[in-house]
Chain A
Amino acid sequence: MELSNKTLIYLVSISIIVTLIGTMINLTKLGQVQYLTGLPVGGAVNITVNTTASINLTQGVINWGSGQVSQGFVNATLDTNNDSAYAVRGSWSATGIRPFILQNVGNVPVNVSINSTTNATAYIGGSGPAFRYFVQNAAGNGSACESGLANQTDFNPSGNASQKQPLCNVFNFTLNRDHIWININITIPDDAPTGSKNTTIIFNACDVSGGSCAA
């Protein structure tokens, strides 16, 4: 079948009209425009960003499993050691062991403290036990802790279970500066009582942007 030029013009015109009407109906139904007049529609966007303090323990498992102090040694040491964990003078395995990883997922810098419900004597027992923590900026997160990065510190030396101990004074929240490692170092004497050991470690955060944190 052959179409004349005139017929073709009619068909094309009908197609254009259908397309335009369809576009108008769709846009109107979507509520994006009121009239297709080309006139700009005035508007204002008001946004309020609330301050949010929030921390996330993205790596919260340190499972040394069971073990014993090796023959001929007075103690064994287990250490998460900045993501290069080791277990020496004992049969515990350091395979797959990582430090706690804490992330600031809020939108303000926070002060972070730590406390354990038990200290080394209560938690491990025996002669000269140690239960300590120390903090490091996580790999690829330089200056995540802007000030007050905790060096190796004994947990709960005073025996006061509710006493908060400093972990990081100013913990950043910006991308690639918002993860810290909390390392755990444990010394187990050979005369420590046997059995499973229980304690709770609490990571506590507080907004520092509006002034000093609560004591």
Chain B
Amino acid sequence: MKRVILIFLLLIPLVQAVGVTPTSANLNFRPNLQTEFQFNFFPTNANADIEISLSGDLAQYGVLDKHLLINGGTVTVRISLPRNLESGMHYINVVGSERPLADSGISAVTAITVPVRIFVPYEGKHIEASLDVANINVNEIGIIYVKVKNIGTEPISELYAKISIFNDGNELKKLETKKIFLNLEESKTLEARFLSEDLRQGSYKAVAKVIFDGKEENLEKGFLIGELLINILNYTEVLTEHEINKFSILMESKWNNKIENIFAEIKLLNNKREIISTRTQQIGLDPWERKELQTFLDLTSVDAGEYDINIILDYANKKSDTLGKVKVIKRSLEISNIVVLLVVIIVITSIVWYLLIKKKIGKPKKKRKNA
């Protein structure tokens, strides 16, 4: 078979890092608009030459004042837009890339692209809208934000949103924002507030219908309403007799704020009689966080069997009781090195004895020869 000899050698230039500031630019389209932007490109590690080029679907409408930066520097891109462009987002990308120093092997270089985003509005009345709802707690005031931006070629004379709050498919609240005027390219945020005192802890969904000059846009966003409650999701159910066991409790906060100083008292019960009791260290839970609370249970005097366990969580001047079962199993047999050594000595001694006895018993008696 033919033997192949290949060389895979990476010849790397001294610098493989490049940066730029600012990192992007935005421009709203105007027919025949002329403008310019400046960007500062720099090599990160050491001096290096950076090649500058333009790309993107509107690259033909941009002109660079220089195409090579020695040890970095500032580059200016002059933009001259045409009279008409298709609606939507367009780009002129200013690309700064290290000049590869190697001519052979594999060379690796870094490059940075700065997008100049040019937005061309859509013909007629169009908006860009988003919905934002923060999680709250029961009895707090909820605020629903509807962010809108005019991305059309005409101003919007009347814009408002109708919002419904749902839980398990049931519509629980109906809200409406104030009515506003939205000029060309203008962005505004609408607000709708609601009281959560009649809502239970759980998952909810806000559905908004944004109505503007006879047109509609639908949005939806989920959110949570919290209650000062910590649920125990799981705990260690199998323990081992006659040793100290690690015991974990998996908790979940249902509260939209941090809960501090949480600890648990753990009681092991046998026929309702407390046989072991311990207390965990204190920890905190972030909003809606799941976390394990750990401690150790001293079962050195507890035999195998099934026991009741009582976990009392203490937090924010509240106590919650959880009753459950744990199984204490027998210890697996552990053979220490000394035991192994003793067994080996006994076996060897037995073999030696066996051989000695066999030799003694099996030795043929010398027969006297008759003369």
Do A and B interact with each other, yes or no? yes
Interface of A with B (CB < 8 Å)?
Answer: 50-58, 60-69, 71-72, 78, 92, 100, 105-106, 108, 124, 126, 186, 188-192, 194-207, 209-215
Q: Does B84 contact A (CB under 8 A)?
A: no
Check A56–B3 contact: CB distance below 8 A.
no
Check B104–A214 contact: CB distance below 8 A.
no
Closest CB in chain A relative to B304 CB, distance in Å: 40
Check A66–B5 contact: CB distance below 8 A.
yes
With A63-B10, A214-B56, A215-B91 known as contacts, the answer to whether A57 contacts B21 (CB < 8 A) is: no
Chain B residues, CB < 8 A from A63: 8-10
Closest CB in chain A relative to B117 CB, distance in Å: 6
Chain B residues, CB < 8 A from A50: 21-22
Check B9–A205 contact: CB distance below 8 A.
no
Check B106–A201 contact: CB distance below 8 A.
yes
**Could you say which of B9, B97, B112 contacts A64, with CB atoms under 8 Å apart?**
B9
**Could you say which of B6, B12, B24 contacts A61, with CB atoms under 8 Å apart?**
B12
* Complex: A203 Cα to B17 Cα, angstroms: 10
With A52-B19, A200-B109, A202-B109 known as contacts, the answer to whether A105 contacts B4 (CB < 8 A) is: no
* Complex: A54 Cα to B309 Cα, angstroms: 56
Check B112–A51 contact: CB distance below 8 A.
no
Check B91–A190 contact: CB distance below 8 A.
no
**Could you say which of B1, B103, B107 contacts A190, with CB atoms under 8 Å apart?**
B1
**Could you say which of B19, B22, B100, B110 contacts A57, with CB atoms under 8 Å apart?**
B110
Give the nearest-CB partner of B103 in chain A: A198
**Could you say which of A72, A126, A197 contacts B7, with CB atoms under 8 Å apart?**
A197
Closest CB in chain A relative to B9 CB, distance in Å: 6
Closest CB in chain B relative to A211 CB, distance in Å: 6
Chain B residues, CB < 8 A from A58: 16
Check B91–A51 contact: CB distance below 8 A.
no
- 11 A-B contact pairs sorted by A residue (CB < 8 Å): A53-B21, A54-B19, A54-B20, A54-B44, A66-B5, A68-B3, A68-B5, A105-B17, A194-B6, A204-B113, A207-B24
Contact with A along B37-57 (1 / 0, CB 8 A): 000001011000000000111
Q: Does B114 contact A (CB under 8 A)?
A: yes
Chain B residues, CB < 8 A from A212: 89
* Complex: A205 Cα to B19 Cα, angstroms: 9
* Complex: A135 Cα to B5 Cα, angstroms: 28
Q: Does B108 contact A (CB under 8 A)?
A: yes
Closest CB in chain A relative to B115 CB, distance in Å: 4
Give the nearest-CB partner of B56 in chain A: A214
Check B100–A65 contact: CB distance below 8 A.
no
* Complex: A196 Cα to B3 Cα, angstroms: 15
Q: Does B232 contact A (CB under 8 A)?
A: no
Chain A residues, CB < 8 A from B56: 214-215
Q: Does B236 contact A (CB under 8 A)?
A: no
With A65-B7, A66-B5 known as contacts, the answer to whether A57 contacts B16 (CB < 8 A) is: yes
With A53-B112, A64-B9, A204-B112 known as contacts, the answer to whether A196 contacts B104 (CB < 8 A) is: yes
Give the nearest-CB partner of A212 in chain B: B89
Interface of B with A (CB < 8 Å)?
Answer: 1-10, 12, 16-24, 26, 42, 44-45, 55-57, 89, 91, 93, 95, 97, 100, 103-115, 117
**Residue from B6, B19, B42, B114 with most neighbouring chain A CB atoms (10 Å):** B6
Q: A51-B23, A72-B1 are in contact. List 9 more A-B contacts (CB 8 A).
A: A52-B21, A53-B21, A54-B18, A68-B5, A195-B7, A197-B106, A199-B107, A201-B107, A211-B26
Check B3–A206 contact: CB distance below 8 A.
no
* Complex: A67 Cα to B57 Cα, angstroms: 44
* Complex: A191 Cα to B6 Cα, angstroms: 11
* Complex: A100 Cα to B114 Cα, angstroms: 24
Chain A residues, CB < 8 A from B4: 68-69, 126, 188-192, 194
Check A62–B6 contact: CB distance below 8 A.
no
Check A67–B5 contact: CB distance below 8 A.
yes
* Complex: A180 Cα to B21 Cα, angstroms: 23
Chain B residues, CB < 8 A from A190: 1-4
Give the nearest-CB partner of A73 in chain B: B1
Check A197–B112 contact: CB distance below 8 A.
no
* Complex: A186 Cα to B6 Cα, angstroms: 12
Give the nearest-CB partner of A189 in chain B: B4
**Could you say which of B91, B110, B114 contacts A203, with CB atoms under 8 Å apart?**
B110
Chain B residues, CB < 8 A from A62: 8, 10, 106
Check B115–A206 contact: CB distance below 8 A.
yes
Chain A residues, CB < 8 A from B24: 51, 207, 210-211
Give the nearest-CB partner of A52 in chain B: B21
Give the nearest-CB partner of A203 in chain B: B110
**Residue from A52, A105, A106, A191 with most neighbouring chain B CB atoms (10 Å):** A52
Check B107–A200 contact: CB distance below 8 A.
yes
Check A204–B21 contact: CB distance below 8 A.
no
Check A204–B111 contact: CB distance below 8 A.
yes
Closest CB in chain B relative to A71 CB, distance in Å: 6
Closest CB in chain A relative to B29 CB, distance in Å: 16
Check A214–B6 contact: CB distance below 8 A.
no
Check B44–A206 contact: CB distance below 8 A.
no
**Could you say which of B1, B21, B115 contacts A214, with CB atoms under 8 Å apart?**
B115
Chain B residues, CB < 8 A from A52: 19-21, 23
Check B97–A202 contact: CB distance below 8 A.
yes
